Amino acid sequence: MFKFLKQYAIFGVVFMVAKATVYFIPLLLADVLTKSDFGVLEYALAGLGMIVNTIINLGVPGAYPYFVLREEKVELKPAFKLHAVFLLIPFALNQVLYFFFNLDVVFYLAFNMSYIIANQVFYSTQLKSHEKSTPSVIIDSGIYLVLLVAYVLDKLNLLDVNLQLINVFVLTYSLVYVVYGIINYYKVKEEATLLGYKTILKFSIHLLISTFLIFLITTSGRILVELFFDFETVGIYAFYFRLSAVVVMIHQVINIAFFKKIYTFNPEVLDKYFYLFFIFIFCLSVVIQFIAPFIITHFSDYFNDTYQAYKTVYFLLSAQMVMWIASALNSNIIDRENLASKNNVKFLILVFISILLFYAVQNYLTLALLTFLHMSIIFVACLLQYSSLYSKGIYFKKSAITLIIIYFITSVYYFYTI
């Protein structure tokens, strides 16, 4: 009993420190960097870098719990270590393009970020699959811990943090994964066969497409803002996205602590927990959104300069977090039921329609309208996931109805305030 309590106490402390870093560091950097540089950092870290990560990861992280937990093919575990070697290819290509062909620094930073995120997802998924929650939290937060170091050095007047310096920190951290991946592979190189890796890829290619599409749908907000506005506006969007995302930490606790159970629990039981969780998250998001101005105004000049003009965006992003969490939880179920390929067709159609929609309204876009449309697209994506599960006789009726009600409430608020 004591060992159990000690284990979860350590996890709780590590989780709070790590996730507090993930949450606060970007907000603090908003007051250190120029508005444009902050937008570039967010674009690279949580926009383009996040989406490119899904491509170079080839869906392999999602294949690990499928083969090891669901199919119990433990003989494939060494083959997964070969993946870290293949991740070196896009990383090396990025260095060549930047140092020899003058690749734009924004893309260089984004592609280095994508390499780091790909490794973080790859290793943390394995750790969560074996219920090693504490190290998985540290791995997940790695890039933000690096940014924390940069911020602290700036506050100690040892360094003057700017985009160029952050680039150096990011490259240095990338090299840590380069060395670790090579060492890890050489420990099992005799067992890590190409044949085993091909077996993994045959399954993961469907996850690659589905992961890319769900990330494109759910995390493309910063890319859309840069496309239709500028990096300064990206920074504003990202700042309020970060403020809204405090509730995502609760989802991450559940996803880490119960990752294995999500792959094994009965769907009817999961539906009950999910819909109650969505209600709780929405209510909490609304409460936080209303009390935030009374607290944050004392700590952030960035917030004081932008809140009045963008408080509707803040509310929409607070509601969007529920949709984002729902899509993430649904993706786990889609993967475990091997429905990724069926769902991909629906997502491709949704992406195509979304592109047409944004270009049709581009001359009328405001940041609030763009945020509302993006939230609506994520909402539709969740309904499409439920329809894919329904086709296999798996029902998430309560969860779907809850999301519909939350979307309706949010829509009424948006149209009332414009």
Nearest to 231 by CA among 103, 31, 41, 28: 41
3-state secondary structure 325-367: HHHHHHHHHHHHCCCHHHHHHHHHHHHHHHHHHHHHCHHHCCH
Whose structure tokens read 């602290």?
152
* Pair 56, 48: CB distance under 8 Å: no
* Pair 368, 233: CB distance under 8 Å: no
Q: What is the DSSP string of 108-159?
A: HHHHHHHHHHHHHHHHHHHHHHTT-HHHHHHHHTHHHHHHHHHHHHHHTTS-
Cβ neighbors of 308 (< 8 A, separation 6 or more) are none
DSSP state of 229: S
The whole-model pTM stands at 0.90
What does each of the 418 residues of the chain score in pLDDT, given as a tens digit? Answer: 555 566 667 878 888 899 889 999 999 999 999 999 999 999 999 999 999 999 999 999 988 988 888 777 888 899 999 999 999 999 999 999 999 999 999 999 999 999 999 999 999 999 988 878 889 989 999 999 999 999 999 999 999 999 999 999 999 999 999 999 999 999 988 888 889 999 999 988 877 888 899 889 988 999 999 999 999 999 999 999 999 998 888 877 777 666 666 666 777 888 888 899 999 999 999 999 889 999 999 989 999 999 999 999 999 999 999 999 999 888 888 877 778 788 889 999 999 999 999 999 999 999 999 999 999 999 999 999 999 988 888 889 999 999 999 999 999 999 998 7
Expressed in percent and rounded to 5, the helix, strand and coil fractions of the chain are 85, 0, 15
